[in-house]
Structure 1
């Protein structure tokens, strides 16, 4: 009963589920049953452009296969190309007394001098030599240590010639250079003084000159010298060289002779050198002098051979002059004067013809657009006075047998040629003492460029240096020009590409500027930073608490900027009236070199806008009477003039003023060195303080079209230094307008 009670609900539930399934399912189809045909699936073939890549299993090479050798590149190009130095001098310093003197006389004429000395005999003076190799004897011969040192330092690979010598031997560097320059180092060659026994060895007292193949053989076969017995260390080295190389010592090769002079007797060379040179002319042609005793002997011999070399060069020059004079008529340009110098440069066309400057004893007529004649003074007077004296001396030498008296200088001309020098033609007037007849003589003189050298110490500079632009504002009248400069800078810094170099604009305002104007400048600087965000430009305002005029305020502004940003930065001091292009900043960066060069560009100074016609409106003419009266009144008006036309670098709009030093680019550390010079007297600008700058710092002046200075009234204080005052007056007068414009204003004519 219990089982039926449990199974009945389960069976009832199953039956109920089956009944509901039959009721809800659709009726069966009456059509005959069949299996529909299965649909063939369609496949898309995308393997038409496939490329089958079958990777092969890498196989390890057999153990006996040879590996491909790798190319070992040399560390230096000279090593890979086989380029060697000319000669190496190996000095065996037995005592060390003369090695220092020998290094001072010989080292500057040869590639390298190496001193080899026993470490037990090294003193303080000898240890300071740039190339000294010490060794310890340890019971071995000295030549063993010398050859091992050459091998250990691989000196045999780097030189064409080798000279082994003692410290008591003096070498004539001029004769040595002439000999090795005319001989080929490819031969197995040993030059020197053969010994008296004719054994094929060279004596060390006279020096032993070995070619590179001979030295290579000596180093490779140096082991044959280990058990060599000799009476002295010198004989051991001589025997070692002969035995290892198997090359006989020679005194002459290809017509060149190895001359040797041995000092004998009791006379010291520095005392008897003059007498020896007169008694035996072979001394002057000697390559080596042996057995010197002191440093005084070495110095005296070196001075003597320098004089001999100078005399030899003078003789060669005289012979060349005779030869050139003989063939001068066959040259295309004819004989040159002075002999051997280039002739006058031929102008390429009639527009580039050279201009001669005419001068008298008191005046000089230079090739300047705004000035015809200037008084002869300063360096020009010293130059011309010296030329006149030389002309008088030469004429008096030529007219030695005649009685003539100098009367006056009629005139003269001079011209500068960058490849030749300065040439002069001087006309002198003489009077015959007997006949009272006037005689005119013209003489041609020249200052030829003789001593030229390449500047090989200029540092390498790039245009990626950070730059700080300093704009000083000393007066209220300079606020508006400075704001225009900031607006110009905002237009220049707008660019698509970002810059990695940093530019900073600093405006230094004095206490005389009103607070309202300072607020305007501060707003302009904030706007400048927003617009130049992509150009890595920063802007800041500095307050300079001083009541100084414009020139001294500029120096104090630069002092304040250096205190804020450090002396290692580059500073470009600009006038508030400046109008710049972007090229100026690039040239300032590349032309300013720390501790070497200061950049002082020559700006384009704008003429007065009214006189030059830059304020004319459309339809106005420059020759109207109303314009003339207006222009004359505006010249007396202290208000800044207005302009309606853009400033363009043209001769009608302005001029390049070489007397203006208001713009300067310099490193702060270089400026601090000349800062004391600005306190010695009142200066018109700080740029002039860098002229004749001590410490070997160059001053670069060049015309800069990207730097333009707007016209402004220039005040010349009477308390300025004399040179600055005269320069200020001259600059103010010439920057007013061109001469034709002033003439049109005064005379009212075109």
Structure 2
């Protein structure tokens, strides 16, 4: 019963579906279907209604084909950006003499001056003008050739304003620049002096100023002027400008007036200029003056307008000073003194306090580590004396009603500020004659930096110049330091950095050096060449047979090196006691310029190793009695002192000596010019020949941390020149040790 209950609904649904399918989709009656006879297949041979669609196979572009549209770039960036010069002056030169004078006065103040002259009238002086365009008249008016020249040279495209004038007209360049800077060039305008007899035309004698759009139209329509009949070339130019542009002449535009001063034919401007300026002040505001007759008139007019411009600038400066003084009270720092200059430098922190030098009428206290006071002499004395006189004059002017008598200067201070100048404070003591009262007045003065000049073009210098290092050895005692220098050079050339520049090491040995030492030096040079093979370093030994002094041996060594390697090479004269870094060679190449500059670095001089404590062993102190006694003993011992510590640029180890000129870098040709100076007297070193050099050769001095000189006993020959002897004695005294080290040596601490 359970199976029947499940199967009956399934069977009923199946039968119902078959019945519905039979009723809806019954097969057609076979009796109504007619079967035709066997048919024959027909083929269509005509193709008149066929349409053929043939797709082209896409082809890949060639490999060298450029993608995208081609852009035609202008030759110059100014052309592409539409940048033009401000003004072009076209001068019609009839005789040529005045055109030369006009080029000298006007060309410095405008973008360009072009002179156009008939080739049949050219003289030698006119033909040398830098911007001359000659033409042949060919029975045509001059304006035709001028306009054709502007078109042929495409001058109409490169300037905002154009001034057409005769050579007999003077143009005030200062007023011309002021006028075109205040006007817009984009409008069609012609400025000048309108002709009263011909409406719309400008007088060429006064000059005609055209904007760029007007000049463009004039050049495009210049053919209108080809058959124009005029009584003169001057009239032809006036008529042509008006006919081709159809723009009337005007004397004022955008608030700027074109002023003209006419000179009658009987007057000479260079004689009547002063009278004209006094009787008619409008002359000073004139843009053009005509007609002038000579170059003297042109020069006189130019000088006059320069004075007018200077007076105008000074008046503006005075007005500006008054405005600054009026606003000074409202400024946070108060009014500046002098007016418009930077105030006194304020210390940014307690480590950068500005240093003032104290001075009296006889002495000055400078900021030097090894000298407290110096005598007031030389340029310092001239400076201080002038300041004292000016301070006294100021005080006596302010106290004019009182009878004061100057007593003395109690003291003063001065400070150098690179952005401001030299500032002074002077304390003066006066006595009142009537009351016998002593008065003190403090005066502030300043030498403001007001005239700055740019250095002339310096020759281009590269770091790859060939360098020859010359090491002179005059005595046997210098052999060991020189060998240490060669060892130092060997370590420099084997450093990881690549060295492609050519360097040559030359050791010049005197005849006083023993043969055994010469052999050692020769072996050191061979070893140096092997180690520096990668850097292409050359090393050679020169023998100098001389019995002269040690100081002159360096000059003879340099002479011998120049004879071997030529005067066009760069030579670096080193002391055998030198200890150098690689940076010294780079700076020597950069700072030495042929026929322009000599490099004399200021070396770091080592103190006496024993006194400076550079030979102390572990556990020893510089204050011990045994250390002190040993230091005193080494001062009497002629043997070179020993050291256990390396030389470092520190104030305990040495000092930079500005009196040392033993290291020089110079070109051989420049050295030969100053070589005779070394023969005039006994000199302490080669560098002394470069003191007080003649104009044209600069001497560059700067402290050089990469150049260190080991301590050695320095002898000062009494036969030296007085200046060199004083310098040698002072250098030897100050390079022994620092003051605290000498005090520790002399005074025994109990």
Q: TM-score, normalised by structure 1?
A: 0.88
The alpha-carbon distance between structure 1 residues 154 and 372, as it changes in their structure 2 partners (threshold 3 A), is: same
2:81 paired residue number: 81
The alpha-carbon distance between structure 1 residues 412 and 67, as it changes in their structure 2 partners (threshold 3 A), is: closer
1:424 paired residue number: 424
2:213 paired residue number: 213
1:56 Cα deviation after fit: 6.7
CA distance in 2, matches of 1:186, 1:464: 53
1:300 Cα deviation after fit: 1.1
Q: Is residue 2:97 matched to residue 1:97?
A: yes
2:599 paired residue number: 599
Q: Is residue 2:508 matched to residue 1:508?
A: yes
1:676 paired residue number: 676
1:113-154 deviations in Å (ceiling 9; x for gaps): 222212222212222222222222222221222222222223
The alpha-carbon distance between structure 1 residues 450 and 217, as it changes in their structure 2 partners (threshold 3 A), is: same
CA distance in 2, matches of 1:680, 1:202: 74
CA contact (8 A) 1:594 1:670 kept: yes
1:492 paired residue number: 492
Where do 1:692-731 residues align within 5 Å?
692-731=692-731
1:662 paired residue number: 662
1:684-726 deviations in Å (ceiling 9; x for gaps): 2222333443342322222211111111112222232232222
CA contact (8 A) 1:495 1:535 kept: no
Q: Is residue 2:459 matched to residue 1:459?
A: yes
1:369 paired residue number: 369
1:241 paired residue number: 241
1:389 paired residue number: 389
1:415 paired residue number: 415
CA distance in 2, matches of 1:421, 1:732: 35
The alpha-carbon distance between structure 1 residues 745 and 271, as it changes in their structure 2 partners (threshold 3 A), is: same
The alpha-carbon distance between structure 1 residues 76 and 444, as it changes in their structure 2 partners (threshold 3 A), is: same
The alpha-carbon distance between structure 1 residues 688 and 191, as it changes in their structure 2 partners (threshold 3 A), is: farther
1:148 paired residue number: 148
1:276 Cα deviation after fit: 0.7
1:747 paired residue number: 747
CA contact (8 A) 1:205 1:290 kept: yes
The alpha-carbon distance between structure 1 residues 734 and 295, as it changes in their structure 2 partners (threshold 3 A), is: same
SS at match of 1:289: strand
Q: Which moved more, 1:729-738 or 1:353-362?
A: 729-738
2:14 paired residue number: none
The alpha-carbon distance between structure 1 residues 223 and 594, as it changes in their structure 2 partners (threshold 3 A), is: farther
CA contact (8 A) 1:612 1:741 kept: yes
CA contact (8 A) 1:743 1:749 kept: no
SS at match of 1:719: coil
CA distance in 2, matches of 1:574, 1:519: 21
1:450 Cα deviation after fit: 0.4
CA RMSD of aligned residues (A): 2.1
1:493 Cα deviation after fit: 0.6
1:505 Cα deviation after fit: 1.2
CA distance in 1, matches of 2:68, 2:140: 44
CA contact (8 A) 1:497 1:534 kept: no
CA distance in 1, matches of 2:94, 2:305: 25
1:168-202 deviations in Å (ceiling 9; x for gaps): 11111221222222223333332222222252222
The alpha-carbon distance between structure 1 residues 540 and 59, as it changes in their structure 2 partners (threshold 3 A), is: closer
1:223 Cα deviation after fit: 2.2
The alpha-carbon distance between structure 1 residues 497 and 367, as it changes in their structure 2 partners (threshold 3 A), is: closer
1:68 Cα deviation after fit: 7.2
1:208 Cα deviation after fit: 1.9
- Unpaired segments ≥5 residues, structure 2: 1-56
The alpha-carbon distance between structure 1 residues 248 and 593, as it changes in their structure 2 partners (threshold 3 A), is: farther
Where do 1:613-628 residues align within 5 Å?
613-628=613-628
Q: Which moved more, 1:286-295 or 1:154-163?
A: 154-163
The alpha-carbon distance between structure 1 residues 266 and 517, as it changes in their structure 2 partners (threshold 3 A), is: same
1:67 Cα deviation after fit: 12
CA distance in 1, matches of 2:662, 2:486: 18
CA contact (8 A) 1:468 1:570 kept: yes
The alpha-carbon distance between structure 1 residues 630 and 326, as it changes in their structure 2 partners (threshold 3 A), is: same
CA distance in 2, matches of 1:75, 1:717: 70
CA contact (8 A) 1:498 1:536 kept: no
Where do 1:540-689 residues align within 5 Å?
540-689=540-689
CA distance in 1, matches of 2:504, 2:85: 49
CA distance in 2, matches of 1:149, 1:523: 77
SS at match of 1:351: coil
Paired residues, number? 691
2:29 paired residue number: none
1:165 paired residue number: 165
The alpha-carbon distance between structure 1 residues 565 and 244, as it changes in their structure 2 partners (threshold 3 A), is: farther
1:645 Cα deviation after fit: 0.5
CA distance in 2, matches of 1:329, 1:460: 50
1:184 paired residue number: 184
The alpha-carbon distance between structure 1 residues 400 and 717, as it changes in their structure 2 partners (threshold 3 A), is: same
1:571 Cα deviation after fit: 1.8
The alpha-carbon distance between structure 1 residues 289 and 692, as it changes in their structure 2 partners (threshold 3 A), is: farther
1:656 Cα deviation after fit: 1.1
Where do 1:245-284 residues align within 5 Å?
245-284=245-284
CA distance in 2, matches of 1:692, 1:134: 53
1:69 Cα deviation after fit: 5.8
1:25 paired residue number: none
2:328 paired residue number: 328
CA distance in 2, matches of 1:87, 1:672: 51
1:48-101 deviations in Å (ceiling 9; x for gaps): xxxxxxx975579xxxxx997632333333333333333222221110111221
Q: TM-score, normalised by structure 2?
A: 0.88
